[in-house]
Amino acid sequence: MEKSGENYSLLLLAGGRSSRMGTDKGELFYRGRTFIENLLRKADNLGIEKKYLSGHGTKQKGVQVVQDIYPNRGPLGGLHACMKAMDTRYCLVLPVDVPQIPLEALRTLLDFHKRLAEKGELEQPLLLSHGGRTEPLIGIYPSDIWTDIAEAIRDHPAPVFKVLDQRGYQTFPIEMKSWQAENINTLETYHMVLKQEAGERNMWREITLEHALELIRERAHRIQDVTEQKIDEAGGCVLAEDVFASLDNPPFPRSPVDGYAVRAEDLAGAAKGDPVSLKVAGCIYAGDDGQSFTAGPGEAYRIMTGAPFPQGTDTAVRQEDTDYGEKEVLIYKEQKAWDNYCFQGEDYQKGRLLLKKGTTLTFAEQGILSGLGYTRVRVYRKPVVRIFTTGDELVLPGNPLLPGKIYDSNGIMTGERLKELGIAPRSVEHVGDDERLLAEKLLHACQDADVILTTGGVSVGKKDILHGALECMGAEKVFWRIRLQPGMPTIFSVYGRTLILSLSGNPFGAMANLELLVRPMLEAMTGSERFSMEKREGILTGEFPKKSRVRRFVRAVYREGEVSLPEGIYSSGAIGTLRGCNCLLDIPAGTDPIKKGEKVTVWLL
């Protein structure tokens, strides 16, 4: 193939599924993007438009995926196939497992190569070198080297340096931190890179609830995936399209009463003592075709609620204002035209916008869609939520309760509360106090979860394993500890596109923060206002005897402007007093005990 001069392509070696890592490295995440996306973005920043990808089955936008001509030849097989397919003179070669390599290092390498190429001084690969180590797969190659590679691998695999030594190469030394240039080819290296990356960022500590919500909303991206849902299963979903009326409703004039369809002019002078007598021409039921019936002068039709009006009639007389006649009917009152008459299109007319895109579907919207004849509707996908409860002390219900153990209530309460809010969790699972096992479980859950909720292990005890598990999996910890009670030690983390909210293991602490933090998170991800909490003010009917050093949320009951507290204990580990509560009493930091009759603020659940 004729090469088009001194220009550059990107040659990205993906390598496929890694046996050492048990996954496709190209699909791992770094700084919120896959490895492949990170390197493609770097190429865009370098002004490299043409991109070639080897060893990866998934099509990438703006990238030519090339299959090896000589399979099972390692990286040389990918280099050969891609270089043979490209029409640029040079290519920047990168393995997929260095997403952390600094953009400036690549820019400096590319600028240096351009200067040499302009002078005609370089027809050999220019390889990046750091710390005395030369990287054979990080550098700029002349793309015509594919002929040398073909000769080397035609019959069997060969090491990269065999071709390089034959062709000759130059090196370009550059200073980088060791982890910035190390290939990520083991889970240990991956976790180390992510931990060091996260360590460069400031994790917020001891923040206000408002600040915590701001940080959550910044990272809770709106879900744009669209799916078709059955109407009877679409409750709580957010509409992904405008819905226009495809017909008039009602689609014909119909009666709102049981009685007689008549012509108003035939009722002139009718009164209780001087009724009008009309011939009953027939009976019309709901579902009959009104166009097949016609009333002449002096005629009436027996008509049922919802039935179509016969032609020639303009009002319906209630049967209570008649003698209920079968062949002839006496009518005891006169009536104006269009009284007791539902016009065609009275509810809505064909072509009218009935439901806007972004509407949260409730029974009312489902009824409208069904009334239009819809069986399915396009909606945005609901967030995928997975739940993990942690702690060796927990026993799943149905198993014997051994000494020192307690039954796990957090899993069922968290899952069922989410169902009440319209989001059924994909899974609810318990994990003991095993840091590495929890990290593996979380990593697996991140493959499809938009949100992961965990309970327990967030404080500073020896068995508070969430900190270590999050570091082990390489999640970015955004904040730890909110200045509120209960649920102060909450951790918020991000791994790729998955949000991880680690709640207190105390049942009320977990439930309170589900309301205060998870609901706003889901609202940001879906755009649905059904997750928002309504603020009310009321009068406290009893007293709250404790001083609140930090902002405190207390379970309570709100009814008709009055706020009452349940009898019993208020510790965050108690669940008995949750029953019957419908709000959270919001007590500002620094508040003294609250007396009976004082005005308070609550958030309705």
| CA–CA distance, 440 with 468 (Å, rounded to integer) | 12
pLDDT value, residue 208: 93
Measure the CA angle with vertex 59, ends 56 and 62; round to 5°. 115
Q: What CATH number is attached to the domain comprising 263?
A: 2.170.190.11
| Structural domain contains residue 352 | yes
For residues 86-97, average pLDDT: 93
Checking if the pLDDT of 500 tops 60, the result is yes
| CA–CA distance, 329 with 313 (Å, rounded to integer) | 16
Last residue of a domain, one of 485, 500, 531: 531
Q: Please tell me what DSSP assigns to residue 208.
A: -
> What's the burial of 203, exposed, middle or buried (CB within 10 Å: 0-12/13-18/19+)?
middle
Q: What CATH number is attached to the domain comprising 484?
A: 3.40.980.10
For the stretch 245-297, pLDDT in tens is 999 999 999 999 999 999 999 999 999 999 999 999 999 999 999 889 999 99
Checking if the pLDDT of 18 tops 90, the result is no
| CA–CA distance, 226 with 298 (Å, rounded to integer) | 58
Say yes or no: 242 and 168 in one domain. no
Band (pLDDT 50/70/90 cuts) for residue 4 is: very low
Instruction: Give the tokens for residue 349.
Output: 């007319």
| Structural domain contains residue 32 | yes
Band (pLDDT 50/70/90 cuts) for residue 100 is: confident
Say yes or no: 284 and 158 in one domain. no
Say yes or no: 445 and 468 in one domain. yes
| Structural domain contains residue 573 | yes
Last residue of a domain, one of 531, 556, 576: 531
Q: What percent of the chain has pLDDT over 90?
A: 64
Contact predicate 603/584, CB 8 Å: yes
Say yes or no: 129 and 31 in one domain. yes
Say yes or no: 418 and 565 in one domain. no
Residues 6+ apart with CB under 8 A from 171: 126, 127, 128, 129, 134
Residue with tokens 């990170």: 38
Say yes or no: 184 and 289 in one domain. no
pLDDT value, residue 57: 65
| Structural domain contains residue 212 | no
Q: Please tell me what DSSP assigns to residue 554.
A: E
pLDDT value, residue 202: 64
Contact predicate 494/219, CB 8 Å: yes
Q: What percent of the chain has pLDDT over 70?
A: 92
| Structural domain contains residue 589 | yes
| CA–CA distance, 4 with 602 (Å, rounded to integer) | 70
Range of the domain at 376: 226-248+347-380
Say yes or no: 423 and 365 in one domain. no
Q: What CATH number is attached to the domain comprising 126?
A: 3.90.550.10
pLDDT value, residue 21: 67
Say yes or no: 169 and 77 in one domain. yes
For the stretch 314-341, pLDDT in tens is 999 999 999 999 999 999 999 999 999 9
| Structural domain contains residue 80 | yes
| Structural domain contains residue 208 | no
Band (pLDDT 50/70/90 cuts) for residue 3 is: very low
Say yes or no: 526 and 540 in one domain. no
- The closest of 556, 454, 560 to 499, measured between CA atoms, is 454
| CA–CA distance, 406 with 507 (Å, rounded to integer) | 12
Domain count, the chain: 5
Instruction: Give the tokens for residue 33.
Output: 């993007």
Say yes or no: 325 and 432 in one domain. no
Contact predicate 515/508, CB 8 Å: no
For the stretch 405-448, pLDDT in tens is 888 888 999 999 999 999 999 999 999 988 888 988 999 999 99
Q: What CATH number is attached to the domain comprising 590?
A: 2.40.340.10
Q: Please tell me what DSSP assigns to residue 252.
A: S
| CA–CA distance, 578 with 84 (Å, rounded to integer) | 69
In sign, the C-alpha dihedral spanning 436, 440, 443, 448 is negative
Say yes or no: 407 and 525 in one domain. yes
State the average pLDDT for the chain: 89
Say yes or no: 33 and 174 in one domain. yes
Checking if the pLDDT of 155 tops 70, the result is yes
pLDDT value, residue 6: 52
Q: What CATH number is attached to the domain comprising 241?
A: 3.90.105.10
How much of the chain is helix, strand and coil, in % rounded to 5?
A: 25, 30, 45
Whole-model pTM?
0.64
For residues 163-184, average pLDDT: 82
Buried b (16+ CB within 10 A) or exposed e, 306-333: ebbbbeebbbbbbbebbeebeeebebbe
| Structural domain contains residue 1 | no
